[in-house]
């Protein structure tokens, strides 16, 4: 199937430059970009805020054993200390 895309001159120049640098045709670079876009945004479930950051959850250690149950207390202490 064919798709026609209109780009500003500046974007077309960048596309041409990238294609040349990679030894590809502009259409090949465009297909790669569309594939990447579809992989990232093609699944509606992946658009939920939680799904977009879930890989970040649990990767930082706070050192506080009760952070989940006493988060308000720790937040107030931090705000007082920083002000």
Note the pLDDT tens digit of each residue in 2-40: 999 999 999 999 999 999 999 999 999 999 999 998 888
- How many domains does the chain contain in total? 1
Q: Is residue 54 part of a domain?
A: yes
Q: Is residue 22 part of a domain?
A: yes
What pTM does this model have? Answer: 0.52
Which domain range does residue 13 map to? 9-82
Q: Is residue 4 part of a domain?
A: no
Give Cα separations from 8 to 12, 13, 31, 40, 59 (angstroms).
Answer: 6, 9, 18, 24, 41
Position of tokens 């720790």? 74
φ/ψ region of 58 (left if φ > 0, alpha if ψ in -120 to 50, else beta) reads left
User: Is the pLDDT higher at 34 or at 44?
Assistant: 34
Spatial contact of 17 and 26, defined as CB atoms under 8 Å apart: no
């Amino acid at each position: 199937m064919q798709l026609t895309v209109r780009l500003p001159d500046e974007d077309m120049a960048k596309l041409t430059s990238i294609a040349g640098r990679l030894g590809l045709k502009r259409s090949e670079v465009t297909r790669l970009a569309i594939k990447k876009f579809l992989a990232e945004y093609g699944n509606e479930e992946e658009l939920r805020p939680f799904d977009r950051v879930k890989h970040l959850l649990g990767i930082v250690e706070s050192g506080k054993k009760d952070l989940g149950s006493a988060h308000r207390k720790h937040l107030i202490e931090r705000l007082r200390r920083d002000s």
